[in-house]
Structure formats: structure tokens, C-alpha cells
Amino acid sequence: MSSQDVLKNASTLASYNVLLQVMFRVLTFFLNAFTLRFVSKELIGVVNVRLTLLYSTLVFLSREAFRRACLSGVSGKNHSWRQVINLLWLTLPLGVLWAALLICVWLWLLEVPDPQTIPYYGPAVVLFALSGVQELLAEPLWVLAQAHMFVRLKVVAESLAMIAKCSITVVMVMFAREWGLYIFSAAHLVYTGFLVLCYAVYFIRFLGSKEAEEKGFPLHSVKDLLPRRAKGEPLVDWSLAQLTWSFFKQSFLKQILTEGERYVMTFLNVLSFGDQGVYDIVNNLGSMVARFIFLPIEESFYIFFAKVLERGRDVKSQKQEDVAIAAEVLECLLKLVLVVGLIISVFGYAFSHLALDLYGGSLLSSGAGPTLLRFYSSYVLLLAVNGVTECFVFAAMSQGEVDKYNLVMLALSLSFLFLSYMLTWWAGSVGFILANCLNMGLRILHSVLYIHRYFLSSQWKPLRGLLPSPLLLLALAVSAVVTALSEGVFCCDSGWLLRLVHISVGAACLLGVLVAVLLTETRLIQFIRTQLLPKYRKKHT
């Protein structure tokens, strides 16, 4: 597959993933707004912080390293898919071990919520762990689908699973509120069950079909999906297993950085369950755009960089056409996330109070919620840039460099936990966001230095994507001042008419910023049209 074909497929995957994440976040947005009217913020805190942390820790530590290693370019070129499948099935017993360990920690080492306020905590812990193990059943199928760019499969599977989860949650919250945590546990089990079912049904129908033969799919029957030894080959490729181990050590540290504030809240009890619930709602609102735009781009273009670049080799020893495409794509991605992140930072400041008031009423807008969301809007910019820079770095690093970076991640993890505790003690919930900003800044610095060294001996300078045009900066600065003044004059306790005036002022400023982007960032607009928008990409190709 040529570099252009890989770019086309990665762009298609990113486009569908963005659409999928938009749907997810919209559904979750309305689901949370609905449940806020029926359940306590303490219950939301336990579900969205403690139980979700259990699930995310289990699946991340069980599969992330396998995904990164098996989706690297070498796995499709130098390794047998039979050995890759065998390696991927190790996620299941690893998940069972993590589940047993985490259940013990969550039940016996952590503070147990008051059963009168939050009933059925023990069974909920077990069911959330079981849902994580259940999802791992589809891991070999997920990697196969990602590696061969089966983009519609992921969209359909996760859409159906999310719709089923939301439906069950709404019905049970309305008619069986007394079931407490059983409601969210059952909904999560249904979600992971639907994922596994969709992937299984698709591959059962696909394997052995004419379509599979035409695509040259490496597996031919359902039996090939199960672990078994091939004649004349070891059970697994040990070089790939060694790379997986390197990524596993890194994934453990990355999980602490990704979910660090939840670990601090869970293990150090710095916030009550109610405050945890409010923080999580604000966190979900603040990260909505980041997750449904930046995360799909990061996931999809990691596959692109991993397939186009040869891991551990310098620029001069690789195909110059591939390096040129990778550099151009990296520059455009950096410019894209920088522009979107700056817009969110500027407009998030002036519209945080209004957004929370519309979403949750005085429960969210009367306390520390608006301040949290304002800080989080600035954090989104760092989150966006870090996602793109790290997706390139992780695709280009050699195994030795990955091992060295694990030491950097260890230092960042320890410093993050310390900063989270100290800054939370000093500034309350905002301390979590400040700690995240400091650590994200250090991660970006490391990645930027790596990218600079990587392209130093070449003609390409992709880090220019981090330099916005002067006209765009001027438009953003004017918008920041105007919207802040508008909030002070028109928002948010003087009725709907003045709120609409504030929204109109923000819309006019946003239009001015978008015009500045259209006038000055022509390469970025061309990249979006030809690579990220399906309608234009089809014409272009």
C-alpha cells in the first residue's frame, strides 16, 4: 500500500471517528443532563469517577501496549498475523488478573460509600470489572479492523453499543431509580457486550467471503481468529512481544498521567463524592471537543505515521517521498489542533458560566464550576498539541528510545501525583487542572525536541505548524477582550434576552476568527478539504 493510500485511509478513519465521537459526546451530554435531574451528584461521582476509573484502568493496562505494538508498521510487514493474533489473545488472561487485583483494591482498600446514599457498591465494582474483561474478547478483532482500515465497522459497532447503553440508562433511571448503581453497571455491561457481538458477527460473515479474498485478507476462517501454533513458527514473535513489554511499561505510566486526577481523588480522598461528581461533569464538558476531534485524529494518524515511517530509522535512511508526506501531514495536523485549541481557549473563558447554567442550572453554575471550566478551556489547547506530537513520536521511536522515554514518563507521573495533591490542597478542584497543564507542557516540550532532532538534517520543518498567523492572533485577542466585556455586561442573571445578546456577540467574534483562518491558513484549509472532509476527498482522489 502506497503512502498516499495509507494517508487516504487514515484520513477516512479520522473523519468517521470524529463523526462517531460527536455522536457519542452529544448522547452522553444529554444523558448526563437527564440523569442530573433524577440522581444525586454523589451517585454521579461514584459512577463517573471511581467505577469508571476501575474500568478504564483495567482495559487500558490490559490492551494499550498490545495495540501500539501490533499496529506499528512492522507488524504488517515483518510479522506473521498468526503470531500477532496469538499475542493479542494474551490481553484476556492479563485482563482477568487485573480485574481480580483491582476488585480487591476497590472493595477493601478504598473508602466505601454510605450504603444508604449509594447502595449496591460491591456488586457494581464486580460488574464494572466484568464489563472490562468482556470487552477484551473483541481485542484481536479490533486490531484486525484497525490495521485493515475497516472504518465503518467501528462506527456501527460503537454507535449501536452507545445507543443501547443510553436507552437502558434512561429507562432504568426513570422507572427503577432505587436500583442505584445496578443501573449504570447493567448499562455498561450491555455496552461492552454489544461491542463484542458486533465485531464477532462482522468477522464471522466476512471471513471466507469473496470480499475477503479480493482484499487479500490474511485470515480465511473463524478458526484463524483463535490462538494456535503455526507449523514452523514460534507461538508468538518475541521481538514483537519485547516491543509490547516496552509499551506496557510506558502505558502504566501514561495511564497515571491520563487519569491522574481520578487516582488522587479516589485514593487520597481530597474531594467528597459530590465534589467529584461536579468536577467530572465539568471535565466532561470541557473535554468534549478535545475528545471528539483531537482523540480520533490522534488514533487514526498514529496508524498513518506507523505505516509510513520505519521505526527507529533516521530521516535520510527512509524513502524521501514517505518522509515528505509524513512531514506535511504533521505540520497540517499541528496547525489544525492549534487553531481549534486557541478558539476553545478564547471563547471558553467568556461562555463557561452560561454553558454550565444551561446544562445543570445553579447546581453547576453557582459554585466553582465556571472557574473550573475556564481553566479547562486553556488546558484543552495543551491537550490538543500533545496528542498530535506524541502520536508522531510514538510511531517514530525505536524500541530503545521507547524504553528511555519510560523513565521520562515515570518522572512525570511522580511529579504529577505530587503536584495534584499539593495544588488541590492549595486551590481546590482547580489544582487538578493546573497540575495537568504543567505535566502536559513538559510532555509537549519533550515531543517537540524529539521532532526537531528527527527532521534537523532534512529540508522539512513540520514544527512551523505551531506558528499561527499574526492576523489570526489579532482576531483571537480582540475576540477575547470583546467576549469578556460582553459576559460582564449581558450575562448571566438578567434574563434570556441579554443572554441572547451575549451569544450573538460571541457568534460575531467567532465569525471574524474563522474569516481570519480562511484568509491566512490556506494550506490548512486545503488539507481539511482534501483529507478530512469525505465529500471533497472523493473529488480530490
Q: Look up cell 455586561; give the residue.
A: 489
Q: Which residues contact 49 (CB under 8 A, 6 or more apart)?
A: 262, 265, 266, 273, 276, 277, 279, 280
pLDDT the model gives residue 353: 87
Integer CA distances (angstroms), 341 to 194, 282, 286, in order: 34, 17, 12
- DSSP, res 114: P
Q: Look up cell 461492552; give the residue.
A: 192
Q: Within a 13 Å sphere around the CA of 115, how many CA atoms are in the beta-carbon half?
A: 5
pLDDT the model gives residue 411: 84
Phi, psi of 64 (to 5 degrees): -60, -45
235 vs 138: CA distance, rounded Å = 20
Tens digit of pLDDT at every position of the chain (541 positions): 555 666 666 666 566 666 666 666 677 667 767 777 777 778 888 998 999 999 999 999 999 888 888 877 444 455 678 888 888 999 999 999 999 999 999 999 998 888 888 889 999 999 999 999 999 999 999 988 888 877 778 878 888 888 888 889 888 988 888 888 999 999 999 999 999 999 999 999 888 888 888 877 888 888 888 888 777 777 777 888 888 888 887 777 778 777 877 888 888 877 888 888 878 888 777 777 666 677 777 777 887 888 888 877 777 877 888 888 888 888 888 999 899 999 999 998 888 888 888 877 777 777 777 888 889 888 988 988 998 898 888 888 887 887 788 788 788 878 888 888 888 888 778 888 898 899 899 999 989 998 988 888 878 888 888 888 899 999 999 999 999 999 888 877 777 888 899 999 999 999 999 999 999 988 888 888 877 654 434 444 4
Integer CA distances (angstroms), 129 to 189, 397, 519, in order: 9, 33, 51
Q: Which residues contact 116 (CB under 8 A, 6 or more apart)?
A: none
Integer CA distances (angstroms), 212 to 6, 72, 485, in order: 19, 22, 60
Number of helical H runs and strand E runs in the chain: 25, 0
Q: Are 65 and 244 within 8 A, CB to CB?
A: yes
User: How many CB atoms sit inside 10 A of residue 316's CB?
Assistant: 9
- DSSP string of 238-263? HHHHHHHHHHHHHHHHHHHHHSHHHH
